[in-house]
Amino acid sequence: MPDVAVVTGSGGLIGSESVRHFAALGYKIVGIDNDMRRYFFGPDASTHRQIERIEATVEGYEHHAADIRDRKAIETIFETYGSDIRLTVHTAAQPSHDWAAREPFTDFEINATGTLNLLESARKHAPEAAFIFCSTNKVYGDTPNRLPLVESDTRWELPEDHPYHDGIDESMSVDSSRHSIFGASKAAADILVQEYGRYFGMRTACFRGGCLTGPGHSGAMLHGFLSYLMKCAVTGRHYDVFGYKAKQVRDNIHSRDLVAAFACFSRNPRPGAVYNIGGGRKSNCSMLEAIALCEEITGKPMAWSYREDNRVGDHIWWISGLKRFRKDYPDWNITCDVRAILQEIYSENVERWTSEGTVRLPGRNGNGQ
């Protein structure tokens, strides 16, 4: 039996990228995905098509439509493969601020309890395996909004002499801030992953991502910033921007670059690691800048409008500090900037979006991650 990698959320953006990456490295992939994304965001966000592609193209892939909230089902999977499991990549989550506020129990059970189920199953049956968790920068709550930001024509920005100018590092406190319900459930999971590393000695890592993106993202209302923005640009669907004069800044990391970071950790894992991860200074944009890029790439103006009220717990400015990860894994780097990411999203999806008859669809969407 080859080494086994368990990938949760295997039909999602980061999950599917992980499936292909680690399969190419020789792992047998055991995927877990029950298409909850369809429940969260509707049929357009379903992972069903991606799972079908994986099953058709990834040799030896084994799929389980299990719910990570089902402790018995998860333990059965881990018990089946036992010590052959050398890696778990946990990407399954409820990922939206707004959705979490609608169903707080569902959000917490998936993000926190589901993570605990996976950790405990790994501890019992594969304690030597690396365990990688897709956390989020929302564990810091709205603390980044206290930074001394300066307004320019297209974005908010930090002064060049500020310690966080090159990116916010892991020293930022997670306390005394408003997180959103989503941020709180992910923070609970984040701390659990750290604790299983430090208390039980497991090789765990929390990757606190900014905006994770790429052409395989099923961008949807409430989640999937660049993907859905480009879809709106292509189809003519209206897009609402909420707050901060449309100058809020996000770094964006291509799914390939993120999974390459996972691979670095898997080769030399350590217990209880925590890394801020994102596009950093190489790959970031404001809403205004992203809209301008979409218009440039598509060759037509976007239909968008501005609303003054910002989303609860939303960041005004986030660029990830990458020094800690680069110190531990100096061979890793960012390969795609925002322009390249948007161009790839456009090139790989424009024909499908157009052929689906989505041009000038009614509806509105709001900015977010």
Q: Please choose, from the candidates 222, 242, 240, the residue with its C-alpha nearest in 3D space to the C-alpha of residue 309.
A: 242
Residue with tokens 């089946």: 80
Residues 185-237: tens digit of each pLDDT: 999 999 999 999 999 999 999 999 989 999 887 665 556 689 999 999 999 99
pLDDT at position 310: 82
Decide: 265 and 326 in contact? Cβ < 8 Å.
no
366: Cβ contacts below 8 Å, ≥ 6 apart: 98, 221, 222, 239, 240, 241, 242, 307, 311
Please tell me the predicted confidence (pLDDT) of residue 221.
57
Q: What is the pLDDT along the chain (369 residues), one digit of tens a residue?
A: 899 999 999 999 999 999 999 999 999 999 999 999 999 988 988 999 999 999 999 999 999 999 999 999 999 999 999 999 999 999 999 998 889 999 999 999 999 999 999 999 999 999 999 999 999 999 999 999 999 999 999 999 999 999 999 999 999 999 999 999 999 999 999 999 999 999 999 999 999 998 999 988 766 555 668 999 999 999 999 999 999 999 999 999 999 999 999 999 999 999 999 999 999 999 999 999 999 999 999 999 999 999 998 877 689 999 999 999 999 999 999 999 999 999 999 999 999 888 875 444 333 344 444
Separation CA 130–CA 202 (nearest Å): 7
What pLDDT digit, counting tens, does each position of 254-282 carry? 999 999 999 999 999 999 999 999 999 99
What is each CA distance from 20 to 52, 212, 262, in whole angstroms?
13, 17, 13
Average pLDDT, the chain: 93
pLDDT at 359: 43
Closest among 33, 122, 135, 58 to 86, alpha carbons compared: 122
- Coil, helix or strand at residue 113: helix
* Cβ(311)–Cβ(97) below 8 Å: yes
Cα–Cα distance for residue pair 163/301, rounded to 1 Å: 38
The two three-digit tokens of residue 111, written as one number: 């993000």
Alpha-carbon gap, residue 233 to 235, rounded angstroms: 6
Residue 186 Cα distances to 94, 114, 268, 323, 361, angstroms: 9, 11, 25, 23, 33
CA angle 175-178-179, nearest 5°? Answer: 85
For residue 166, the tally of other CB atoms under 10 A from its CB is: 16
Residue 225 contacts residue 252 (beta carbons within 8 Å): yes
Structural domains of the chain ordered from first start = 4-355 (3.40.50.720)
pLDDT score for 365: 42
